[in-house]
Amino acid sequence: MKMGLLEDMTRRVKKLGIIDLKLAQGAAMFFALVIARLIPGIMDLSVWWFAGLLVICAIKPFYVFWIKE
């Protein structure tokens, strides 16, 4: 039976340990830095755009960690 894409990705992610997850986060951060260096206009944005995106990206993890039972 063929698995759907999301089911396959969920199965693969469950194999990762905490070190693997943190390394993936670090790789994503460095990828973002490479993009920022390649497109210098991105860094000309107001700091408030970055702060707003930070809040938007943090809402769900914050909810799951602190509020959801």
Q: Which domain holds residue 43?
A: 5-67
User: According to the model, what pLDDT value does residue 39 have?
Assistant: 92
User: According to the model, what pLDDT value does residue 64 have?
Assistant: 87
pLDDT tens digits, one per residue of 15-60: 989 999 999 999 999 999 999 899 988 888 899 998 999 999 999 9
User: According to the model, what pLDDT value does residue 1 have?
Assistant: 54
Q: Which residue from 67, 42, 38 is spatially nearest to 53, judged by alpha carbons?
A: 42
Could you tell me the pTM of the whole model? Answer: 0.63
User: According to the model, what pLDDT value does residue 23 have?
Assistant: 94
Q: Which residue from 57, 8, 13, 9 is spatially nearest to 32, judged by alpha carbons?
A: 57
User: According to the model, what pLDDT value does residue 20 have?
Assistant: 92
